[in-house]
Amino acid sequence: MAGRAAQARLTDPRGCGAARAAAAALLVAGLIAGALTATADAAEPRPAAATAARAVAASDLGSPEKKDVAMQLVSSAENSSLDWRAQFSYIEDINDGRGYTAGLIGFCSGTGDMLDLVRAYTEAVPDNPLASYLPALQQVNGSASHEGLDPGFTAAWAAAAGDPAFRQAQLDELDRVYFNPAVSRAKQDGLRALGQFAYYDAAVVHGPDGLARIRQAALATATPPSQGGDETAYLEAFLDARNAEMVTEPAHSDTSRIDTAQRVFLRAGNLDLDTPLHWAVYGQQFSISS
């Protein structure tokens, strides 16, 4: 059977050149139409991913109510108390190799986040009880040492905690380093409030780099909702990877903040982290009624 170009040569009075031009035009038109269709297909989200995106939009850990729940959950594990607002003045060495641990989420003298916090506070309030300790904090960063901090640093921290500017600096640093990046990454992965909290809690304990390692380990065995995967299955994989990371650190080898808290919510199907909530950490029972 003669093709479209051959038919053009037989019937087109303009000859072969015109026929070839006509055929070429038809080919280009077909390629353009195919490209447009492919682009439209690529732009159209897969049904599962589109459903996940809509669910995430309606389940935001950053809302005031959900964020307060997140703060209480972290405080139950970090301070054995739901009163997270009472933790601005907290400071002690918990012998985890990170020096002093202090404040809302355990800023550490040995990991750099305490140094960044005191720098930010000093920029806002130059004359503050902690400003004189900046050189010592720089010196001990990366170690468990208290050199240059003892004996007065813990008292200075407690005094600074009475300043609203220092309390705000703690909240700002928490958001900048831990909460906002973790929640944003979880949303990109198509996770609702429980998954957003799982990422945040991992960042609090293991740092942003630790969260990245745990996420990569989870991605090796499960597909996130943003790519069409099942949210519960992905979070099970993430919590498995988090457990594995926890037990590599002697100070964090107790995994109850995962096993008897986050995994309890997950297996109850509470992906939106709705109250009431009931959980246990280190054997202590906690509840949030509303």
- Reading phi first (left if > 0) and then psi (alpha if -120 to 50, else beta), residue 122 is in alpha
Residue ranges in the chain assigned as alpha helix (H): 4-11, 16-43, 47-57, 64-79, 113-124, 134-140, 153-160, 164-173, 180-188, 193-219, 231-246, 256-257, 263-267
Start-to-end CA distance of the chain, whole Å, equals 76
Tally of residues, the chain = 290
The CA-based angle 105-111-112, given to 5 degrees, is 90
Residue 239 contacts residue 267 (beta carbons within 8 Å): no
In the set 96, 163, 240, 272, the catalytic residue is 96
DSSP-derived 3-state class of residue 68? helix
Residue 141 contacts residue 113 (beta carbons within 8 Å): no
Residue 90 contacts residue 98 (beta carbons within 8 Å): no
* φ, ψ (nearest 5 deg) of residue 81: -155, 145
Task: Let me know if 96 is a catalytic residue.
Answer: yes
The residue behind tokens 């509470």 is 270
Residue 17 token pair: 């050149």
Closest C-alpha among 172, 38, 189, 173 to residue 111? 173
Task: Let me know if 41 is a catalytic residue.
Answer: no
Beta partners for residue 278, in sequence order: 287
As annotated, the active-site residues are 78, 96
